[in-house]
Chains A and B, each alone.
Chain A
């Protein structure tokens, strides 16, 4: 067993306690495994090794292993985290407990059902909504969007829908119908988008007692988010926007701020510039010399050069 620079052993055996669930018998139990961990071993690595070497009945969901897909959200040491972005030795405990994400129905072991979560996301219409029916159904050109407008929403578009905020939210834990931080954060993202005109349609779901008004700013969603999306900020901004709209302090985003597809003009870049070397003789001479030099060592390159030479002299 090697030793690290800090004098601690490079590998350590970590006890992993997994909360398992069998949907056919309805049994729920804790199961213990031992896995050798070294620097860089993630919780997902450990689980996959358990599945490969010790217990292939263990079920979990994962895909990319690099924090981009948002499939492996779990409750690790009672904290909602991505298994692929949590290293075993970083946790600093000899026993690591792994449970399925709370506030989601458990299908088996660590696999949870995201159906409700995705439905709430669909409810807020996570796409550009235009007032004109034709534009919605037959879009034929992109919409204009200045970079500073993109910067206002880009934070919220980094959401990978891993469900950690939904698991962390204390209001979701009580209210089943609450839209949740993910959906409301995305609602703010689409309402703020300059290309969008669907505020009134989204308000049907958002301006509700199970919508934006149910959030009480516990901030847990933002603290749990692995991507820095900050849903808590989005929800507060969405709510203050609603307050301002209702009080008449702020006017609704004017459609004129949004460039319709027809106003996007393409700049005529013209034809390609003329060749700066009019006289081909220098190039021809250079190519012939090079071909002769390479004749001995690289005959096929010399042949290719002669072929090219033929094309430029013939045209």
Chain B
């Protein structure tokens, strides 16, 4: 018989992987989670971009510097980044309106009625789900159409 060792317990927290890797944890019928992840990612991008944007707009004070900066737009990578940024702003804004209604005012999540079999959560089948699909639809249309206009301007096709 071996000596009894002190038991060690395993901290089993999923961390960021549980948020962004879909096959770590699967929840059925939950597009809100997709929106949650996208909202965080786009929010992160925007908060990084915001100081850069303020710095960039401050360049207009010096016209020569501004002209030099505008040359950066010829870079295809910068153009692609602009498109990603545009999509982020559209999604974050649209979903933000939905979240303000749902989280701040408690709209679109139904009333807490007594549950009945098959025990479907009301908040996930109420108006907010429709708003969510609308957000996804408007976002994709605006992003793609905006992309076509943007890349035509850049002379990609």
Residues of A bordering B, CB below 8 Å: 21, 23-26, 28, 75, 77-80, 100-107, 112-113, 151-156, 158, 167-168, 170, 173-174, 176, 215-220, 222-230, 232-234, 236-237, 239-241, 243
Total interface residues in chain B, CB < 8 Å: 51
Give Cα distance in the complex from A233 to B107, angstroms. Answer: 10
Give Cα distance in the complex from A167 to B14, angstroms. Answer: 9
Residue B18 interfacial (CB < 8 Å): yes
Return the contact of A102 from the options B18, B37, B112, B120 (Cβ within 8 A): B18
Give Cα distance in the complex from A75 to B23, angstroms. Answer: 12
Instruction: Tell me whether A236 and B102 are in contact in the complex, defined as CB-CB below 8 angstroms, given that A23-B9, A75-B25, A230-B123 are known contacts.
Output: yes
Return the contact of A151 from the options B33, B106, B114 (Cβ within 8 A): B114
0/1 interface trace, chain B 15-38, chain A, CB 8 Å (1 if under): 110110001111111101101110
Cross-chain contact A219 with B12 (CB below 8 angstroms): no
Instruction: Tell me whether A224 and B18 are in contact in the complex, defined as CB-CB below 8 angstroms, given that A25-B5, A230-B123 are known contacts.
Output: no
Cross-chain contact B19 with A173 (CB below 8 angstroms): yes
Residues of B bordering A, CB below 8 Å: 4-16, 18-19, 23-30, 32-33, 35-37, 39-40, 99, 102-107, 109-110, 112-116, 118-124
Instruction: Tell me whether A223 and B114 are in contact in the complex, defined as CB-CB below 8 angstroms, given that A105-B9, A232-B109 are known contacts.
Output: no
Instruction: Tell me whether A78 and B23 are in contact in the complex, defined as CB-CB below 8 angstroms, given that A218-B33, A228-B121, A230-B123 are known contacts.
Output: yes
Give Cα distance in the complex from A152 to B112, angstroms. Answer: 6
Cross-chain contact B26 with A239 (CB below 8 angstroms): no
Q: How far is the CB of A20 from chain B (nearest CB, A)?
A: 11
Minimum CB distance partner of A156 in chain B: B112
Of the listed residues B15, B32, B109, the one surrounded by the most CB atoms of chain A closer than 10 A to its CB is B109
Of the listed residues A77, A103, A174, A219, the one surrounded by the most CB atoms of chain B closer than 10 A to its CB is A219
Determine the chain A residues whose CB is within 8 A of the CB of B8 once the complex forms: 23-24, 26
Give Cα distance in the complex from A113 to B19, angstroms. Answer: 22
Give Cα distance in the complex from A176 to B15, angstroms. Answer: 10
Return the contact of B115 from the options A28, A228, A243 (Cβ within 8 A): A228
Cross-chain contact A168 with B112 (CB below 8 angstroms): no
